[in-house]
């Protein structure tokens, strides 16, 4: 039954053809680890075709394929295990603001896990989470629905498992360890994992990644009633991943490309690579949605500019650069073409209340 359900999920993804991406906050621990050892982070990001602002705005969407490439290159060049080590101290505060608020208001771990099951796709739309209580132990299960090679699968497994452990530790204490860990990757467990979880049974080549904990832990109350995030929300405070639930190519591609704007207007070749298709195929797919690639980028740039104008006091030239425009005059012309007013007038109208919340 489970195998059938997971296969159905994979077929649905192939039909939807959304761009695989995840919430940028989850890259933070890897970047922190690399900076601590003096690795050339910006160079590694560029080589992997990740935005140079990756990790600085936690609610942005980052492409999964480029991220795996980045972690592989970092591991090889720096001689460090990038699957578990950076996640050793992962905190629940890395998770989405909506989940943190729900978890803080949960009377028990059981209720918090129910919220996580509902909100997990805000972290990564390709991940499914569910939990079951058996006779003595509860199993917390995660499944990434896209096929991965063994190395990337191990990285994905540990990311999923450490998120689950972080949630449980917010209720059971920072030193808590699971009874059993299961990974989908067939690779053998290294010494670091064995030292980190000395009293935990660790299995590989499993159908899902999961942790086991005694059933009584599900009734634990949270250790704190305020899970404040250790990151600031990006402009607009919106979580791009929330728009990916059921989204297809166009909306998911817009969410991912938005994270590249500070590096300039993303070329269509990059968009095609992130979408795992040729440039010609991407153009045909967009044509079916009655869009050109230029239309798509215009929408992304305008949406970001609109949020920055409405919610910050940044200078117009700085907003122009953050939105991928070469100069403020080019920005002003493009913004007027869509909104009917120039950026300064738009900001004044928002501040005066002339434009309602839906309009601005």
Q: Got the DSSP string for 260-271?
A: GGGGSSPPHHHH
Same-domain check for residues 215 and 246: no
d(C-alpha 347, C-alpha 270), whole Å: 32
Beta strands 61-63 and 21-23, pairing class: antiparallel
User: Domain holding 68: CATH number?
Assistant: 3.90.1520.10
Q: Which of 188, 219, 250 is the last residue of a domain?
A: 219
d(C-alpha 162, C-alpha 90), whole Å: 7
pLDDT the model gives residue 238 = 46
pLDDT the model gives residue 36 = 95
Same-domain check for residues 29 and 175: yes
Same-domain check for residues 168 and 38: yes
d(C-alpha 355, C-alpha 44), whole Å: 43
Same-domain check for residues 40 and 115: yes
Q: What is the largest CA-CA distance in the chain?
A: 67
Same-domain check for residues 318 and 185: no
Cβ(121)–Cβ(98) below 8 Å = no
User: Domain holding 273: CATH number?
Assistant: 1.10.10.60
DSSP letter string, 140-178: EEEEE-S---HHHHHHHHHHHHHHHHHHHHHHH-TT---
State the helix-helix crossing angle for 343-352 and 328-339, rounded to 10 degrees: 60
Q: Which of 158, 185, 219 is the last residue of a domain?
A: 219
Mean pLDDT, consecutive 10-residue stretches, the chain (360 aa), reads: 49 61 95 96 96 89 96 95 93 94 95 97 94 94 96 98 98 95 96 95 98 97 76 46 65 93 94 95 94 94 94 94 91 92 92 59
Same-domain check for residues 249 and 152: no
In a domain, 63, yes or no: yes
d(C-alpha 143, C-alpha 160), whole Å: 8
Same-domain check for residues 195 and 288: no
d(C-alpha 320, C-alpha 316), whole Å: 6
d(C-alpha 247, C-alpha 262), whole Å: 24
Q: What is the dihedral of CA 56, 57, 61, 66, to 10 degrees?
A: -10
Cβ(19)–Cβ(249) below 8 Å = yes
Closest CA to 212 of 160, 138, 158: 138
DSSP letter string, 49-84: T--TTTTTSTTSEEEHHHHHHHHHHHHHHHT---SS
Q: Output Rg (C-alpha) for the chain, integer angstroms.
A: 21
In a domain, 138, yes or no: yes
Query: Could you tell me the residue range of the domain that residue 109 belongs to?
Result: 2-219
In a domain, 235, yes or no: no
d(C-alpha 141, C-alpha 258), whole Å: 31
pLDDT tens-digit series, residues 17-63: 789 999 999 999 999 999 999 999 999 999 999 999 898 889 999 99
In a domain, 230, yes or no: no
Cα 278 to Cα 9, 257, 298, distances in angstroms? 24, 17, 21
Q: Which of 157, 187, 219 is the last residue of a domain?
A: 219
What number of helices (H) and strands (E) belong to the chain? 15, 7
Same-domain check for residues 66 and 132: yes
Same-domain check for residues 133 and 254: no
d(C-alpha 281, C-alpha 272), whole Å: 8
Cβ(94)–Cβ(26) below 8 Å = yes
Cβ(127)–Cβ(118) below 8 Å = no
Same-domain check for residues 212 and 300: no
Q: Residue 8 class from Cβ within 10 Å (0-12 exposed, 13-18 middle, 19+ buried)?
A: exposed
pLDDT tens-digit series, residues 185-243: 999 999 999 999 999 999 999 999 999 999 999 999 999 877 765 444 444 444 455 55
In a domain, 224, yes or no: no
Three-class secondary structure of residue 11 per DSSP: helix
In a domain, 227, yes or no: no
Domain count, the chain: 2
Same-domain check for residues 96 and 191: yes
In a domain, 359, yes or no: no
Same-domain check for residues 213 and 246: no
Q: Which residues of 249-271 are buried (b: 16+ CB within 10 A; e: fewer)?
A: bbbbbbbbbbbbbbeebbebebb
In a domain, 147, yes or no: yes
């Amino acid at each position: 039954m489970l195998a059938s359900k997971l296969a159905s999920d994979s077929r649905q993804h192939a039909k939807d053809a959304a761009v695989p991406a995840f919430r940028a906050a989850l890259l933070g621990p890897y970047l922190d680890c690399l900076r601590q050892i003096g690795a050339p982070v910006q160079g590694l990001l560029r080589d992997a075709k990740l935005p140079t602002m990756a990790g600085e705005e936690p609610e942005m969407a980052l492409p999964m394929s480029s991220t795996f490439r980045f972690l592989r290159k970092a591991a090889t060049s720096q001689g460090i295990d990038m699957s578990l080590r950076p996640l050793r101290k992962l905190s629940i505060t890395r998770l989405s603001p909506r989940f943190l608020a729900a978890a803080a208001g949960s009377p028990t771990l059981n209720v918090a896990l129910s919220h996580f099951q509902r909100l997990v796709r805000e972290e990564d739309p390709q991940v499914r989470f569910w939990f079951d209580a058996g006779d003595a132990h509860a199993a917390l299960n995660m499944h990434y629905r896209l096929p991965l090679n063994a190395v990337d699968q191990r990285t994905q497994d540990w990311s999923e498992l450490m998120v689950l452990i972080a949630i449980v530790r917010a209720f059971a204490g920072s030193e808590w360890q699971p009874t059993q860990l299961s990974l989908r990757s067939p690779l053998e467990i290294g010494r670091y994992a064995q030292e980190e979880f000395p009293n935990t049974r660790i299995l590989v080549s499993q159908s899902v990644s999961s942790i086991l904990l005694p059933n009584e832990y599900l009734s634990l109350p949270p250790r704190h009633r305020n899970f404040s995030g250790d990151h600031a929300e990006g402009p607009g405070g919106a979580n791009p991943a929330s728009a990916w639930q059921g989204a297809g190519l166009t909306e998911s591609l817009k969410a991912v490309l938005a994270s590249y704007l500070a590096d300039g207007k993303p070329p269509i070749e990059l968009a095609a690579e992130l979408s795992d298709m040729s440039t010609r195929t991407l153009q045909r797919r967009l044509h079916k949605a009655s869009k050109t690639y230029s239309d798509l980028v215009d929408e992304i740039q305008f949406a970001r500019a609109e949020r920055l104008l409405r919610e910050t006091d940044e200078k117009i030239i700085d907003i122009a650069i953050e939105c991928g425009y070469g100069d403020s005059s080019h920005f002003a012309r493009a913004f007027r073409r869509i909104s009917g007013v120039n950026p300064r007038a738009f900001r004044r109208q928002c501040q005066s209340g002339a434009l309602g919340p839906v309009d601005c």
